Amino acid sequence: MNVRENFETITREIVETCKQVGRNPEEVKLIAVTKYVTDTRVEEAIEAGIADFAENRPQNYVERKGKYSDKTWHLIGSLQTRKVRDVINEVDYFHALDRDSLAKEIEKRAEKEIKCFVQVNVSGEESKHGLTSEEAIDFIKSLEQYSKIKVVGLMTMAPFVEDEEILRNCFRKLRELRDEVKGLNLPYAPCEFLSMGMSNDYKIAIEEGATHIRVGTALVGCELK
């Protein structure tokens, strides 16, 4: 496992994939998901030049953000309402806003505007968090009441399948939904971004418009899994 080599490979792939579909590679942000690795790997990633990182557990998030505070940190994964208070003011981007009780708690605890991605369960898998595509629009409209929440984009996790068409379809649906929200021109929900694609499917996600790919295993490995 060599983080720098992985970073170079993935960066090259981002550039090539963007070229194939006529996108600007600068639109695609690579986020290193460090939930399965030790600090050594985080430091290798920093050395390699990676600037965006993600953790999924509030406590690990707070520790790492504190340790490597000059990097941009993304909180991914579901967040329990009672944990909001411990973490929310350290969050640069939150990728898993999926319910009103959570929005309400963020509003109560946040001392700044919080940049959020609304999580959508496009595939409809029961095991996954997120709103259905149908619920997402009304949910986003309802967020107008919360002054601390800014909807910068939508996030999804694709199903664990290998079928490319299923994955592509999932990413495409999220993009269409993003376009719909963007078209509403809500001042608190510019909804420009698409957080989608992980180690196994980021290439397809980029082809379908991903602006933030969340890559763990293929970039920094998974020592602690």
Ligand X SMILES: *Cc1c(COP(=O)(O)O)cnc(C)c1O
Among 29, 62, 75, 77, binds ligand X (CB under 6 A): 77
- What spatial distance separates the first Cα and last Cα of the chain, rounded to whole Å? 15
Is 214 among the residues that bind ligand X (CB under 6 A)? Answer: yes
Task: Determine, following the binding rule CB under 6 A, whether residue 153 of this chain makes contact with ligand X.
Answer: no
Q: State the nearest-atom distance from the C-beta of 197 to ligand X, in Å.
A: 8
Shortest Å distance, C-beta 43 to ligand X: 19
Angle at 139 between CA 173 and CA 179, to 5 degrees: 35
Stretch that binds ligand X, among 21-29, 81-89, 107-115, 209-217 (CB under 6 A): 209-217
With CA atoms as reference, report the closest residue to 214 among 222, 201, 224.
201
Closest contact distance (angstroms) between CB of 22 and ligand X is 26
Q: Give the nearest distance from C-beta 184 to ligand X in angstroms.
A: 26
- Best CA proximity match to 138, nearest among 124, 118, 153, 156: 118
Determine if 199 is a binding residue for ligand X (CB under 6 A): yes
Say which residues have a Cβ less than 8 Å from residue 96's Cβ, sequence separation at least 6. 75, 76, 77, 78, 79, 117, 119, 129, 130, 155
Among 30, 76, 116, 181, binds ligand X (CB under 6 A): 76
Q: Round to whole Å and give the CA distance between 111 and 100.
A: 19
Query: Between 94 and 133, how does the x/- string for binding to ligand X read (CB under 6 A)?
Result: ----------------------------------------
Decide: residue 112, CB within 10 A, 0-12 exposed, 13-18 middle, 19+ buried.
exposed
The Cα–Cα gap between 18 and 6 comes to 18
Which C-beta is closer to ligand X: that of 178 or that of 214?
Answer: 214
Nearer to ligand X, 35 or 178 (CB): 35
108-113: long-range contacts at Cβ-Cβ below 8 A with a sequence spacing of 24 or more? 109/84, 109/85, 110/148, 110/149, 112/148, 113/147, 113/148, 113/149, 113/150
Residues 12 to 51 in contact with ligand X, rule: CB under 6 A: 33, 35
CB of 141 to ligand X, least distance (A): 25
Smallest distance, Å, CB 158 to ligand X? 10
Binding site for ligand X (CB under 6 A): 33, 35, 56, 76-77, 157, 198-199, 214-218
